[in-house]
Chains A and B, each alone.
Chain A
């Protein structure tokens, strides 16, 4: 499976813009995990979902975020990279 890696010099607007394009359910776990630094268990309790769902949403959300950022940096003319999983 190929997944793109975004350019390294991302702007804040690019990052927040890509995050906005994710489904809300993905946004909320990413924010709770990466920004608020809650544990998976705490996120699961806050959102009333299983820990496994937290993990899968994080995984899928981050993957989509990378794809979105790679696409946006590619469109803006800056090089992204393709990586094989």
Chain B
């Protein structure tokens, strides 16, 4: 087979909800381990998922994606990419279904800063997808790290309404970092149009 000379434009397949029964298929035994257990310097990021009535959502799933500790991706579209991520065993991807208390958790390292095509620098961050019954499409947000001076000049975070910016920054909690996601309401998390 050969590639068509001029690719034809195809209509996208629409999104549908994961429904209430994602737990039979999507959780992985190693889902939360973005880096192996015991990795020096790694941090647990954990939080809860809430609806607009401040009730916890026990049938959702949170996925994270991030650069390695040096700010590189194991991916052909990262022109500075790597085949040997830091630390060893780094996967970049995390997946955690929420439990009965709406809690999810991943174990990872703080990613490095990232360059942008126009010469800016992105502060360390994770991209996050949230899926749940009642969400017809994923919602996308970002987790930034507390007290990182690069946050002030991050090209995404610095353009968010200051009153809502804190919803994108993890907080220091016992045992690591906390990041709650509020799908709706007074504390609604900032979500992105990707």
A binds B: no
